[in-house]
Amino acid sequence: MTSAAVRDVSIFGEAIAYFNEAADLLELDSGMRRILTHPSRQIIFSIPFQRDSGEFEVFTGYRVQYNFARGPAKGGIRYHPGVTLDEVTALAFWMTWKCAVVDLPFGGSKGGVTCDPTTLSSSELERITRRYAAELVEVVGPDKDVPAPDVNTTPQVMAWFMDTYSMHVRQNVPGVVTGKPLEIGGSRGRVEATGRGVTICALDQMQKMSIDASRAAIVIQGFGNVGMHAAKLFAERGCKVVAISDISGAYYNEKGVNIDAALSHAAKFRTLEGFAGGERIGNAEMLLSNCDVLVPAALENVFTAQNAGQVKAKLIVEGSNGPTSPEADRIFKERGITVIPDIMGNAGGVTVSYFEWAQDRMGYFWKEHEVNERLEDVLLTNLHEIRKIAERRGATLRTAAYTLAIDRVVRALKLRGIYA
């Protein structure tokens, strides 16, 4: 078994562990547990295409539609050499709870192509995308399954997908995907939405915990789309971001990193390598540095039983998917460290994707401040509900979030019944 496969199975296993803990609180019967731990549909197909050189190749495409109880499935498409059925199934499972916890009328899905996009030209990527979309025409759509960008896919990839689908059904269907360019039905505020959601949740929880935002020290692991926008928004709210990182390493400045300078450096060099605005330290060391709030916004499984006991943050807001192992989560609970889980902490992106889908169906588009106001309302309404459940049941915010999400899906399933 490859290391990628081991990782994927581990992620799914951890998701099931969190699910089971919440299901126990809900006293969910065994039949409902069996239904909710099996995907509705798994699709695997070949993607033959011709390289620019004339050579033919065949890649493998996947789409897993995990649950439709609350509405059409929703989930991204990733292009990566490590894409497997296990990984895509785990992520579709996770998307089901992410959509439910913020009360969106969606189920969960995920898709991908096993390929290395760094070796492909733009025209080759377009051909792969169009063939991928064509294979899924019968099972995706605004009322069936709505893809979005994910790892190594972009607004341009979504535009090709939308155009292919629209050509096949002989009408313009912008609502078949989200994360599109503004010019063809994208939503204002979508690019910043996940990072903005992290900041909204963090600031609200900081207030609850009496952490003064103007004096708070923030550490952000990852300076991609999520991390950089979260850093920018924290700085705008007067918080002191003391450390940032990317694949080149971490950069620590006790007095506060100049985020504008970091953004300019990353835009120019596409990396923080060489950034002079902080002391260069290791990524692992950064996670254990002194801070009030820690935002993992890069990799999965960064908090484990080995390092959780050394984390100094009072609050962790998960901007990435699956950064905390169940063992680390238990240690954080024992140590009194509050964790806003990934299904809540990084739900800003899928929430604004829902707004985009709704705007496409209406043919009427909101101003950016309207998008941001609606996003804050959705996130805080549901974060406050999670907090009430946690207080009432004596549970962590993670268990409370899964409890809320599972309960919403179960209610929908029971009302609809099982068609047999």
Q: Is 418 helix (H, G, I), strand (E, B) or coil?
A: coil
Contact yes or no for 352/375 (Cβ under 8 A): yes
- In terms of Cα–Cα distance, which of 6, 26, 111, 41 is closest to 400? 26
Could you say which of 74, 110, 232, 240 is catalytic? 110
To the nearest 10 degrees (0 to 180), the angle between helices 225-236 and 259-269 is 150
| 232-270 burial: b if 16+ Cβ within 10 Å, else e | bbbbeeebbbbbbbbebbbbbbeebbbbeebbebbeeee
DSSP 309: G
CA dihedral 86, 76, 352, 191 (to 10 degrees): 120
H or E stretch at 179: none
Q: Tokens 């972009």: give the residue.
A: 154
* Residue 156 in tokens: 């341009």
Contact 208, 222 (CB under 8 A): no
> Strands 41-50 and 279-281, how do they pair?
unpaired
Are 179 and 358 spatial neighbours (Cβ–Cβ below 8 Å)?
A: no
Amino acid identity, position 123: S
Distance CA 59, CA 48 (A): 6
- Using DSSP's 3-state secondary structure scheme, residue 167 falls into helix
Whether 268 is catalytic is no
Q: What is the strand order of the sheet 56-67 is part of?
A: 41-50, 56-67, 107-114, 73-80, 145-149
Catalytic residue annotation: 110
